[in-house]
């Protein structure tokens, strides 16, 4: 009985190994590689949008320059700061999990999720502002000739890219909240941290994609 | 094998993966890669015969020049149905999802794939996407062809395009997740001493095909999502009225859909590379070169998509580069054909049913490949674009190549999967019938295309009737040849003799376990040696 309860106690802190793996190390390797492969597919998803952006921008450089002036650089810049800070916080959270500092980790993860929500809310305000300025294709788009079509194309891409990215942010926030709850229940610790680490990897990807989105949609073409 | 040996070889019922939990619920929640493979096989077979039914309609309609069976519009819907179902829901998942799922862990000595739950999720995505798309195709029909070219698909065709695109989109994720699963499995779950250069070539092709699935399918998924958004929310990136670029759609579509051809043919090459050494009793010729050519096809296969667009208005220089790359990608394919042939040389060849399929594959794939070279040259491709020559070419590769190899693989591993032997006589008859039926169906189409008969029309000039009748006659033989295996394979489940662990005296780890394998795959640790050690006795 004593041995059994000891085993149960050990099992809670030690990683559970699924039957297809030999040991925890192999399981960890598999999960990590799986995440990297998944991130590669994500790059290609966004790659389509970036490729489309490149081609249409080459076709309509002036239209795109006009259009990018309609985006809100202040909001975009703050959003970039918010997302970068959140990436920093989740990296610290993973470190806290590895050091078994569960309370700190929960706080850091909650802050990360809050920043994610902030990002989404700010985007909401941006979308509303664009709505009032008649910039949303398909719903309400009225811009003066002669470059109206190119501006509309830009905003088609703008909504595809930022919409798809915001979808990723939303999924990330949900995953991080779930992770925070599980960390609070002491599911993870110095012996078991693959899941927090992989969540952080995903969040960094969301961040890195934005680092490309921000200059392409908000900055390029403004100076000319 | 004496009867007492055979009795020993049959695992006790509780040990086989078929047994244990019989219920529907147990099957639909299984995480066993072998059961998931069976689930895939059922789905794929269903879609194959659905797609085949549409092909039957097409061939019956084309018996007479006026094409009086179907109206032009129904005809368009029939070939779209045929293409969508066969490409997205049969050919792409066929070998990887069934044979690959079943065999990959066995071949590397693993207990399962790396992510069994994800594997089951992939099946659900596949089957839901497939049924949804088929329901939408039947409910209203789509007439865009399987390629969904813009602006027709976004601006003019009916609204079912949206639903079918969603179905294909969902199924794309099944493909991505299967690829991810296989890559991780091969990297992390090989048993000790199973080094990369001891892997059977089938595993190498599974690795290569997984790379293509993982790197190309997201591009398709996003492109289809853009079509859906254009129809739904008027975000018209491809919309020419706004100055958007319909050609961009074609580039993105073929960036996936040309590598998709390699998703279809690479696994077929893997299957053939397993079958031939077994029935020649020799090591495969040039193992290392086979692996290099698999990788070369994978990489170069990503750089040839523009040969689908020689007449679409891309620049002459782009066409030139794509043409050269298309010639280059033929080199590793040719190396493989030479190596299979060299394996045959001085071998003790026997002609069991799987071998007949494999030999049929080599012949048909060669014809398909060589006509592919003709189409890779713009000078020939431009007059031949959208004629039956193209139709014949890709059916030689996809049906003559992939489907022959798939059926060869099903026959080769049937005793392992089910533990039963099928009727060898019937199987050989079906394989031979299929070879002749196939050639009678599609060889006339080469001539028709060369003479200028365009594809995708429900009627044609009376001059073309003789060859069309020949083609339709061949199709009926082919249909019979596809139905035969269903009958005798199912019959073998009931009345087939017990197969024993290794009926072909083959090498490879999967033959060292029982037939059918137990849930945990191996009851004792298999012995790892070099692949295809047919010059050594079986362990």
* Cβ distance of A30 and B226 shorter than 8 Å: no
Of B188, B222, B243, Cβ closest to residue A45: B222
Q: What is the pLDDT of residue A139?
A: 83
Q: Residue B237 and residue B239: Cα distance in Å, rounded?
A: 6
Q: Work out the mean pLDDT of chain B and round it to a whole number.
A: 93
Measured in Å, how far apart are chain B's first and last C-alpha atoms?
A: 16
B219 in contact with A at a CB cutoff of 8 Å?
yes
B237 in contact with A at a CB cutoff of 8 Å?
yes
Chain A: nearest CA to B454, how far in angstroms?
32
Q: Residue B438 and residue B402: Cα distance in Å, rounded?
A: 13
Q: Which two tokens mark B384?
A: 């031949």
* Cβ distance of A153 and B236 shorter than 8 Å: yes
**Chain B interface mutation, best of A28, A34, A161, highest count of B Cβ atoms under 10 Å:** A34
Q: Which residue of A has its CA nearest to B187?
A: A30
Statement: residue B172 has pLDDT above 60: yes
Residues in chain A within 8 Å Cβ distance of B244: 56, 153, 156
The per-residue pLDDT for range B474-526, each reduced to its tens digit, is: 999 999 999 999 999 999 999 999 999 999 999 999 999 999 999 999 999 99
Q: Residue B221 and residue B473: Cα distance in Å, rounded?
A: 38
* Cβ distance of A34 and B115 shorter than 8 Å: yes
Least confident piece of the model among A16-30, A104-118, B366-380, B473-487: A16-30
Tell me if residue B16 falls in helix, strand or coil: strand
Q: Which two tokens mark B183?
A: 């890559």
Q: Residue B320 and residue B54: Cα distance in Å, rounded?
A: 37
Q: Residue B234 and residue B99: Cα distance in Å, rounded?
A: 42
Of A21, A41, A51, Cβ closest to residue B176: A41
Q: Residue B519's closest CA among B132, B29, B32?
A: B32
Looking at the DSSP bridge assignments, the partners of residue B498 are: B420
CB neighbour class for B12 (10 Å; exposed up to 12, middle 13-18, buried from 19) = exposed
Q: Residue B193 and residue A216: Cα distance in Å, rounded?
A: 49
For residues B512 and B497, is the Cβ–Cβ distance under 8 A? no
Q: What is the pLDDT of residue A14?
A: 60
Q: What is the pLDDT of residue B135?
A: 95
Q: Flag whether B471 is in a domain.
A: yes
* Cβ distance of A40 and B214 shorter than 8 Å: yes
The per-residue pLDDT for range B53-112, each reduced to its tens digit, is: 999 999 999 999 998 899 999 999 999 999 999 999 999 999 999 999 999 999 999 999
Chain A: nearest CA to B208, how far in angstroms?
14
Q: What is the pLDDT of residue B239?
A: 87
Task: Spell out the residues 6+ positions from residue A6 whose beta carbon is closer than 8 angstroms to its own.
Answer: none
What is each CA distance from B356 to A10, B120, B287, in whole angstroms?
A: 57, 33, 22
* Cβ distance of B235 and A156 shorter than 8 Å: yes
Of A33, A49, A159, Cβ closest to residue B187: A33
Residues in chain A within 8 Å Cβ distance of B214: 37, 40-41
Statement: residue A8 has pLDDT above 90: no
**A·B CB contacts under 8 A:** 111
What is each CA distance from B43 to A39, B27, B91, B173, B519, in whole angstroms?
A: 29, 14, 12, 16, 22
The answer to whether the bond into B151 is cis (omega within 30° of 0) is yes
The per-residue pLDDT for range B443-456, each reduced to its tens digit, is: 999 999 999 999 99
Between A24-59 and B160-188, two packed helices, what is the crossing angle to 10 degrees?
140
Chain B: nearest CA to A220, how far in angstroms?
20
Q: Flag whether B78 is in a domain.
A: yes
Q: Flag whether B9 is in a domain.
A: no
Residues in chain A within 8 Å Cβ distance of B116: 18, 20
Q: Residue B226 and residue B195: Cα distance in Å, rounded?
A: 43
Q: Residue B473's closest CA among B437, B508, B427, B504?
A: B437
Q: Which two tokens mark A80?
A: 């970039």
Q: For B108, phi and psi rounded to 5 degrees?
A: -105, 5
Statement: residue B10 has pLDDT above 50: no
* Cβ distance of B244 and A156 shorter than 8 Å: yes
Q: What is the pLDDT of residue B19?
A: 85
Q: How many domains does chain B have?
A: 1
* Cβ distance of A45 and B187 shorter than 8 Å: no
Tell me if residue A135 falls in helix, strand or coil: strand
B163 in contact with A at a CB cutoff of 8 Å?
no
* Cβ distance of A156 and B183 shorter than 8 Å: no
What is each CA distance from B36 to A62, A126, B30, B32, B97, in whole angstroms?
A: 54, 46, 7, 6, 9
The per-residue pLDDT for range A195-209, each reduced to its tens digit, is: 999 999 999 999 999
Statement: residue B14 has pLDDT above 80: no
Q: What is the pLDDT of residue A140?
A: 85
Q: Residue B302's closest CA among B347, B259, B341?
A: B259
Q: What is the pLDDT of residue A224?
A: 56
Compute the Cα dihedral for A117, A119, A120, A126 and give only its sign: positive
Give the pLDDT mean for B11-22. 72
The per-residue pLDDT for range A65-119, each reduced to its tens digit, is: 999 999 999 999 999 999 999 999 999 999 999 999 999 999 999 999 999 999 9
* Cβ distance of B252 and A138 shorter than 8 Å: no
**Chain A interface mutation, best of B181, B182, B235, highest count of A Cβ atoms under 10 Å:** B235
- DSSP collapsed to 3 states, B164-190: HHHHHHHHHHHHHHHHHHHHHHHHHCC
Between B246-280 and A24-59, two packed helices, what is the crossing angle to 10 degrees?
140
Half-sphere exposure (CA, 13 Å, Cβ side) for B43?
A: 30
CB neighbour class for B498 (10 Å; exposed up to 12, middle 13-18, buried from 19) = middle
B184 in contact with A at a CB cutoff of 8 Å?
yes
Q: Flag whether B532 is in a domain.
A: no
Statement: residue B9 has pLDDT above 80: no
Q: Flag whether B4 is in a domain.
A: no
Tell me if residue B131 falls in helix, strand or coil: helix
Residue B273 domain boundaries:
24-512
For residues B280 and B191, is the Cβ–Cβ distance under 8 A? no
Task: Spell out the residues 6+ positions from residue B106 whose beta carbon is closer than 8 angstroms to its own.
Answer: B509, B510, B513, B517, B521
* Cβ distance of A149 and B245 shorter than 8 Å: no
The full set of domains in chain A, from first to last, is: 26-219 (1.20.120.80)
Of A30, A52, A55, Cβ closest to residue B188: A30
Q: Which residue of A has its CA nearest to B32?
A: A20
Q: What is the pLDDT of residue B65?
A: 95
Q: How far is CA B138 from the centre of its chain?
A: 24
Q: Flag whether B11 is in a domain.
A: no
* Cβ distance of B114 and A30 shorter than 8 Å: yes
The per-residue pLDDT for range B119-142, each reduced to its tens digit, is: 999 999 999 999 999 999 999 889
Q: Flag whether B364 is in a domain.
A: yes
Residue B478's CATH number: 1.20.210.10
* Cβ distance of B226 and A52 shorter than 8 Å: yes
Q: Flag whether B246 is in a domain.
A: yes
Residues in chain A within 8 Å Cβ distance of B229: 160
Give, as one character, the DSSP assignment of residue B271: H
Residues in chain A within 8 Å Cβ distance of B245: 55-56, 59
Q: Residue B202 and residue B267: Cα distance in Å, rounded?
A: 7
* Cβ distance of B112 and A34 shorter than 8 Å: no
Of B189, B233, B244, Cβ closest to residue A20: B189
Q: What is the pLDDT of residue B313?
A: 87
Q: Residue B357 and residue B427: Cα distance in Å, rounded?
A: 10
The confidence band for A4, taking pLDDT boundaries of 50, 70 and 90, is: very low
The confidence band for B236, taking pLDDT boundaries of 50, 70 and 90, is: confident
Give the pLDDT mean for B185-190. 96
Statement: residue B311 has pLDDT above 60: yes
Of A18, A34, A153, Cβ closest to residue B243: A153
The per-residue pLDDT for range B17-51, each reduced to its tens digit, is: 988 788 899 999 999 999 999 999 999 999 999 99
* Cβ distance of A30 and B184 shorter than 8 Å: yes
Q: Which residue of A has its CA nearest to B176?
A: A41
Give, as one character, the DSSP assignment of residue A192: B
Chain B: nearest CA to A37, how far in angstroms?
6
Q: What is the pLDDT of residue A15?
A: 66
Q: What is the pLDDT of residue B391?
A: 97
Give the pLDDT mean for A28-32. 95
Instruction: Please give the share of chain B, as a percent, with pLDDT higher than 70.
Output: 97
What is each CA distance from B188 to A76, B25, B200, B298, in whole angstroms?
A: 42, 31, 16, 21
For residues A46 and B218, is the Cβ–Cβ distance under 8 A? no
């Amino acid at each position: 009985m004593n041995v059994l309860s000891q085993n149960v106690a050990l099992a809670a802190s030690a990683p559970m190994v699924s039957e297809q793996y030999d040991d925890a190390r192999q399981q960890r390797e598999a999960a990590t590689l799986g995440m990297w492969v998944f991130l590669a597919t994500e790059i290609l998803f966004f790659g389509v949008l970036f490729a489309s952006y490149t081609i249409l921008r080459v076709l309509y450089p002036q239209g795109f320059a006009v259009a990018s002036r309609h985006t809100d650089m202040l909001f975009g810049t703050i959003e970039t700061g918010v997302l970068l800070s959140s990436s920093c916080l989740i990296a610290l959270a993973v470190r806290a999990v590895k050091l078994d500092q569960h309370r700190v980790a929960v706080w850091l993860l909650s802050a990360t999720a809050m920043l994610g929500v902030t990002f989404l809310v700010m985007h909401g305000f941006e979308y509303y502002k664009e709505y009032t300025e008649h910039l949303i294709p398909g719903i309400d788009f009225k811009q003066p000739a002669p470059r109206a079509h190119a501006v509309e194309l830009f905003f088609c891409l703008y909504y595809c890219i930022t919409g798809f990215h915001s979808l990723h942010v939303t999924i990330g926030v949900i995953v991080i909240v779930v992770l925070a709850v599980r960390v609070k229940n002491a599911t993870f610790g110095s012996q078991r941290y693959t899941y927090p680490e992989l969540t952080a990897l995903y969040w960094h990807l969301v961040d890195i994609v934005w680092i490309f989105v921000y200059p392409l949609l908000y900055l390029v073409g403004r100076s000319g | 094998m004496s009867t007492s040996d055979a009795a020993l070889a049959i695992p006790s019922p509780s040990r086989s993966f078929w047994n244990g939990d019989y219920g529907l619920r147990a099957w639909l929640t299984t995480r066993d890669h072998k059961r998931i493979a069976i689930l895939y096989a059922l789905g794929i077979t269903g879609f194959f015969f659905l797609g085949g039914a549409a092909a039957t309609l097409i061939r019956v309609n084309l018996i007479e020049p006026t094409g009086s069976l179907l109206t032009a519009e129904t005809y368009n819907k029939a070939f779209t149905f045929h293409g969508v179902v066969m490409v997205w829901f049969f050919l792409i998942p066929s070998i990887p999802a069934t044979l690959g799922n079943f065999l990959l862990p066995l071949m590397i000595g693993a207990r399962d794939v790396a992510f069994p739950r994800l594997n089951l999720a992939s099946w659900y995505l596949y089957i839901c996407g497939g049924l949804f798309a088929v329901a939408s195709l039947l409910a209203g029909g789509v007439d865009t062809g399987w390629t969904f070219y813009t602006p027709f698909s976004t601006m003019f065709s009916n609204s079912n395009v949206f639903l079918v695109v969603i179905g294909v989109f969902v199924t794309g994720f099944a493909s991505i997740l299967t690829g991810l699963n296989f890559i991780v499995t091969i990297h992390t779950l090989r048993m000790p001493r199973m080094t990369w250069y001891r892997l059977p070539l089938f595993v190498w092709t599974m690795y290569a095909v997984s790379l293509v699935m993982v790197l190309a399918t997201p591009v398709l998924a996003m492109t289809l999502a853009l079509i859906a958004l254009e129809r739904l929310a008027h975000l018209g990136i491809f919309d020419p009225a706004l100055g958007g670029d319909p050609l961009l759609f074609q580039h993105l579509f073929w960036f996936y859909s040309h590598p998709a051809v390699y998703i279809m043919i690479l696994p077929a090459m893997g299957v053939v590379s397993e079958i031939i050494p077994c029935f020649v009793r020799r090591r495969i010729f040039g193992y290392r070169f086979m692996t290099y050519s698999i990788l070369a096809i994978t990489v170069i296969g990503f750089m040839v998509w523009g040969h689908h667009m020689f007449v679409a208005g891309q620049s002459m220089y782009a066409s030139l580069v794509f043409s050269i790359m298309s010639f280059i990608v033929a080199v590793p394919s040719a190396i493989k054909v030479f190596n299979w042939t060299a394996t045959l040389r001085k071998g003790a060849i026997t002609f069991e049913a799987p071998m007949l399929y494999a030999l049929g594959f080599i012949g048909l794939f060669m014809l398909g490949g060589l006509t592919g070279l003709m189409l890779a040259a713009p000078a020939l491709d431009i007059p031949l674009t959208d004629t039956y020559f193209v139709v014949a070419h890709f059916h030689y590769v996809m049906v003559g190549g992939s489907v022959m190899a798939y059926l060869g693989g099903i026959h080769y591993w049937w005793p392992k999967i089910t533990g039963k032997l099928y009727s060898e006589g019937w199987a050989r008859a079906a394989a031979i019938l299929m070879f002749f039926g196939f050639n009678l169906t599609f060889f006339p189409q080469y001539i028709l295309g060369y003479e200028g008969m365009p594809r995708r029309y429900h009627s044609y000039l009376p001059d073309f009737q003789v060859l069309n009748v020949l083609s339709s006659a061949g199709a009926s033989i082919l249909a019979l040849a596809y139905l035969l295996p269903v009958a005798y394979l199912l019959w073998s489940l009931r009345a087939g003799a017990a197969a024993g662990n290794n009926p072909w005296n083959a090498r490879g780890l999967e033959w060292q376990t029982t037939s059918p394998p137990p849930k945990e795959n191996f009851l004792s640790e298999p012995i790892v040696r070099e692949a295809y050690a047919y010059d050594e006795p079986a362990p």
